[in-house]
Structure 1
């Protein structure tokens, strides 16, 4: 079963998915008139609350929506996902992660604007947003099978088994193994159950509690990680230009990958970027669709900052630490263990503990938000009265994630992400003219203010 999941994931994430996500994102980027670059400053003003309005439909504020979305995206994908990308595709994979992020900003803008333009209501009459509602209300009932496909893949793909797996690994490596306290399998079960209890306390309180916790954790999490990484980067400051050049050079030569396969480097970069910033997958529209905002374009502006913060800033910092310390060239470790080795080399004695704290917050904040995404998909499929059953299924799988192998976990999540991307990108490209018209109207109105 494990081999089948890995093979299917590798097959679906080849050229077709690259064309859909990066090609589709590039089309949206050009079609928008390079909007992420032109209106980046306006997006920053929006997120600072300059244009906030009260008494509009929704469950959370736009800033809370961005915090919850970043809590889901700025997570283990940035710490262990970058390590996996460099391990599999060499430094060049980071360049293709950057390219995916720039076009991903346009994709996020379109998908999250649409999430507000085509909101729906669940069976309890609560306003909801996300690709499934965009497909049903924007494209029509005949497209509903696409909405169902997205929701089924979401129920399975938005489990936090990867976060549970990597948090378990780093906790064992830092806190238990050096002191001879790791008993292998039984230890994994104990950590898994402890994580399940912690996550249960937050997610059983609903989206308001998830958003409130995320909006407090995210700024602290990013500052802690940013500060720790900067200490290491400053230590090796003189080598930064060399490392940045290596990223660009390797992107077009593939020298760090056996056989010099540039295509393989592109695929690995795009795949890890999709897992990291989730542009085009359809998760962020679900939380942005719940925000108290009646301006779809404004919400899209806020959302497009996500891939920039996630991939251009946080992933690059992680990549620099792994490359500057040189651990990527000779380490047998993969995933979070490779990043852990880099932090320990960069800041001997304290590096691994600082990363441990960052990983704990990254992983838990992602677990909180993913439960909301999966809950929405379950709600769409089975109705609001049954949606809470999903939380119990979600909590049980956290324990499973702590115990199973990394390869199978990564491949399963990747495969489900790919299936979610198909309905999301089809609906976004189909309805892109609606967003373009709304953008034109919005900025015409803004000129008068």
Structure 2
């Protein structure tokens, strides 16, 4: 097993090495410059669109823009926000959190760009539903069907064997067993039944559940983290200083932490940041394509806030909680580290339940979101007739996931994620002029409209 682990680790390090990190951050940096700091200058407008009253009634699409965002967030806000952040800081030290921020900052423009293209190149399938995402803009925009098929194949792989099933189901079953003494068999049966009830209803059902659960779970978890930070407010300035300084100097070994250089902090921070917010991976555009909207730019702005909520807010809460309480330098890792942080920061009895409940909701919604992503990829490759068989296989994997103890699954998920990102990023670079032209035309028309109102 150790030889397999070492082989997969070598593949993971190669895929997530400097070339992909440069391509990911470089694409975001290029778009940030060409779009004139859109993620900062247009964030107020984006938030207004998210929480505004106009949810696309009467416009083409399957769900509201908010529903599409919640569907995307249901997949992105997952165990990566609890387990992934802890893993990044365990590997790269507190400085990894800073590089997660950097990846998210530039990732916001990447998310904007890919979701803009998703709406621009979406189509209506034979079931009358909107179908879009990297598969369609790679084929219809870039003119590369091989890249489109490659992306769809990797997307199904991530849904079946990566983020979509096993890590999430394991997280739920572990939380239910450890915190509430619920047998794995019961967890597997109930979880499979609930997932079936939601996913067999398609995007409308997934969107409806996500729109209710995602805001609740995000607010619940952020408030829990804030409680820890308030109790430990005296250590907060020092913790923030440690995050920033470690990002550029690395961190020496301390306690159970083995030490990390700057490159490891960058690599673990960026990789786990992308794993959490999925900017550049090409998954969120699949949900964005279903939005009821007549403006690809507006949906791009709405979708951009997903990275802001996921990483800038939620991952930051987890990271600061780990650093403030000092558990990052101990012997624990993953969910156990976060659980101890809450127990020490608040109360031993309350802490573990807060993390377990957070994991429960985060993992459940990720299962829903990735079911939809894999379904769209399956339809692209095999047609609408393949949707039902896909859903049935997905449910079988969800049921089996509770009984699998796969130490290598996060490593496998990292690898397939990286493979997914490559064709998508090629598409973004190849269609960069479309992104820039659409953005400029939208804001030029918006300025003209404002000018006409003021003149009148």
Shorter-chain TM-score range: over 0.9
Gaps of 5+ in 1: 182-186
Displacement, 1:359? 1.6
> Do the aligned partners of residues 197 and 353 (structure 1) sit closer, same or farther apart at CA in structure 2, a change above 3 Å counting?
same
> Do the aligned partners of residues 292 and 148 (structure 1) sit closer, same or farther apart at CA in structure 2, a change above 3 Å counting?
same
Displacement, 1:259? 6.0
Q: Aligned residue for 1:240?
A: 236
- In the alignment, structure 1 residue 126 sits paired with structure 2 residue 129: yes
- In the alignment, structure 1 residue 356 sits paired with structure 2 residue 356: yes
Note if contact 2:56-2:64 (Cα within 8 Å) is conserved in structure 1.
Answer: no
SS of the counterpart of 2:82?
helix
Displacement, 1:364? 0.8
> Do the aligned partners of residues 188 and 89 (structure 1) sit closer, same or farther apart at CA in structure 2, a change above 3 Å counting?
farther
Distance 1:209 1:375 in 2: 14
SS of the counterpart of 1:282?
coil
Displacement, 1:406? 5.1
Distance 2:409 2:361 in 1: 20
Note if contact 1:204-1:391 (Cα within 8 Å) is conserved in structure 2.
Answer: yes
Q: Aligned residue for 2:79?
A: 76
Displacement, 1:294? 1.1
Deviations 1:196-223 (A, max 9, x none): 2221121111110100000001111111
- In the alignment, structure 1 residue 199 sits paired with structure 2 residue 195: yes
Note if contact 1:59-1:291 (Cα within 8 Å) is conserved in structure 2.
Answer: yes
1:6-405 superposed matches below 5 A: 6-49=9-52, 51-140=54-143, 143-158=144-159, 159-176=164-181, 187-256=183-252, 258=258, 260-330=260-330, 332-348=331-347, 349-405=349-405
Displacement, 1:17? 1.5
Note if contact 2:91-2:260 (Cα within 8 Å) is conserved in structure 1.
Answer: no
| More displaced 10-residue stretch of structure 1: 66-75 or 104-113 | 66-75
Note if contact 2:92-2:261 (Cα within 8 Å) is conserved in structure 1.
Answer: no
Note if contact 1:130-1:282 (Cα within 8 Å) is conserved in structure 2.
Answer: yes
Note if contact 1:122-1:379 (Cα within 8 Å) is conserved in structure 2.
Answer: no
Displacement, 1:317? 0.5
> Do the aligned partners of residues 272 and 125 (structure 1) sit closer, same or farther apart at CA in structure 2, a change above 3 Å counting?
same
> Do the aligned partners of residues 256 and 119 (structure 1) sit closer, same or farther apart at CA in structure 2, a change above 3 Å counting?
farther
Distance 2:260 2:267 in 1: 13
Distance 1:425 1:128 in 2: 20
Displacement, 1:129? 1.0
Note if contact 1:77-1:275 (Cα within 8 Å) is conserved in structure 2.
Answer: yes
Q: Aligned residue for 1:184?
A: none
| More displaced 10-residue stretch of structure 1: 255-264 or 347-356 | 255-264
Displacement, 1:5? 3.5
Note if contact 2:135-2:151 (Cα within 8 Å) is conserved in structure 1.
Answer: yes
Q: TM-score, normalised by structure 1?
A: 0.93
Note if contact 1:170-1:337 (Cα within 8 Å) is conserved in structure 2.
Answer: no
Distance 1:241 1:206 in 2: 46
Deviations 1:250-299 (A, max 9, x none): 11111146564211111111110011000000010000011011100000
Distance 1:356 1:114 in 2: 37
Distance 1:405 1:84 in 2: 18
Note if contact 1:169-1:336 (Cα within 8 Å) is conserved in structure 2.
Answer: no
SS of the counterpart of 2:441?
helix
Q: Aligned residue for 2:409?
A: 409
Q: Aligned residue for 1:442?
A: 442
SS of the counterpart of 2:63?
coil
Gaps of 5+ in 2: 451-456
Q: Which consecutive aligned stretches of 4+ in structure 1 deviate over 6 angstroms post-superposition?
A: none
Q: TM-score, normalised by structure 2?
A: 0.92
Distance 1:156 1:74 in 2: 19
Note if contact 1:170-1:340 (Cα within 8 Å) is conserved in structure 2.
Answer: no
Displacement, 1:190? 4.6
SS of the counterpart of 1:419?
helix
